[in-house]
Structure 1
Amino acid sequence: MAEHAYEVEVNWSGATTGYRSYSRNHEVNTPGRPPIPGTADPKFRGDTTRWNPEQLLVASVSECHMLWYLHLCAEAGVVVTTYRDNALGIMNDVQFLQVTLRPQITITDPAKVEVAEQLHVEAHKKCFIANSVNFPVAHEPTITAE
């Protein structure tokens, strides 16, 4: 099995002179891409205008599933014209409990709605991120034909 490496750099500077006084703002970088402005969840004194790790985890699960789903649809002859996911991650004070993907998908052929629905099961099996987390990932797709 092939291995793939993903390297990112997280940069922060400031002074941790007290819990309430230091900035949680940081940048996530990798060569050749724009930086991601990061912070902590607002409950932990983070900036509401920046991405927090919890949001990025939910986004990773959603993106991975979408990319596999689009791949499988292309192979199966299901033409997808729009895909919009309103993913929801639920966590308690120590860990994620679940992520629910709620994609709204438009396809071109009404006869392929059932196939389009079934491909979510296969996409879930292939999603690297979903296979790496220790919480359930649920799917509630809505598929509409043009």
Structure 2
Amino acid sequence: MARYTADIRWALAEGEDFAAGRYSRGHTIRFDGEIEVAGSASPHVVGKWAVEAAVDPEEMLVAALSSCHMLSVLHVARLAGFVARAYRDHAEGTMEEIAPGRQAVTRVVLRPRIDWSGEIPDAETLAELHHKAHDTCFIANSVRTEVTIA
């Protein structure tokens, strides 16, 4: 069994009013490789109390799905005998109300573009590679969000 950690740190700044909800949602996220990322709530959720330059949990979810899918595609493509030279994606998540007062990222659309070396998989084979990758992606297997490849 593998374990993964993230350390989150936030503190109320001088002059902020926690009880009134007037405080920055900015915080730091530190991962096990000592990489530190600025985090915040989404500006769509808390407006001016968000830190626009930071990543929000919804963006991290979209990025995690995209990254996991990429790593899975590269793996299944290699096993199928294809050689990828470059991979890029512009992933987009959609947040919707799922019940009164409850929201969720209900859909994530991945738009992968792969540059191949040598034999290039045809459309049917590429779709199969993406399907296999989706089935093996740990993050996709962990969420209820609909993930589609465009």
Question: TM class by shorter-chain length?
Answer: 0.7 to 0.9
Q: Give the deviation of 1:18 after TM superposition.
A: 2.1
Q: Give the deviation of 1:17 after TM superposition.
A: 4.1
Q: Give the deviation of 1:71 after TM superposition.
A: 0.9
CA contact (8 A) 1:78 1:116 kept: no
CA contact (8 A) 1:58 1:87 kept: yes
Q: Per the alignment, in what secondary structure is the counterpart of residue 112 of structure 1?
A: coil
Is residue 2:91 matched to residue 1:87?
A: yes
Q: In the alignment, which residue of structure 2 is the partner of 1:70?
A: 74
Root-mean-square deviation (CA), in Å?
1.5
Q: Give the deviation of 1:73 after TM superposition.
A: 1.2
Q: Which amino acid aligns with 1:47?
A: V
State the distance in 2 between where 1:97 and 1:32 align.
30
The residue correspondences of 1:32-43 to structure 2 (distance < 5 A) are 32-43=33-44
State the distance in 2 between where 1:110 and 1:77 align.
9
Q: In the alignment, which residue of structure 2 is the partner of 1:18?
A: 20
CA contact (8 A) 1:73 1:80 kept: yes
Runs of 5+ unmatched residues, structure 1 = 141-146
Q: Give the deviation of 1:132 after TM superposition.
A: 1.0
State the distance in 2 between where 1:53 and 1:47 align.
12
CA contact (8 A) 1:65 1:123 kept: yes
Runs of 4+ residues deviating >4 angstroms? none
State the distance in 2 between where 1:133 and 1:118 align.
21
Runs of 5+ unmatched residues, structure 2 = 98-102
Q: In the alignment, which residue of structure 1 is the partner of 2:128?
A: 118
**Aligned pair count?**
137
CA contact (8 A) 1:80 1:106 kept: yes
State the distance in 1 between where 2:132 and 2:113 align.
17
Q: Per the alignment, in what secondary structure is the counterpart of residue 148 of structure 2?
A: strand
CA contact (8 A) 1:85 1:103 kept: yes
* TM, length-normalised to structure 2: 0.84
State the distance in 2 between where 1:46 and 1:8 align.
20
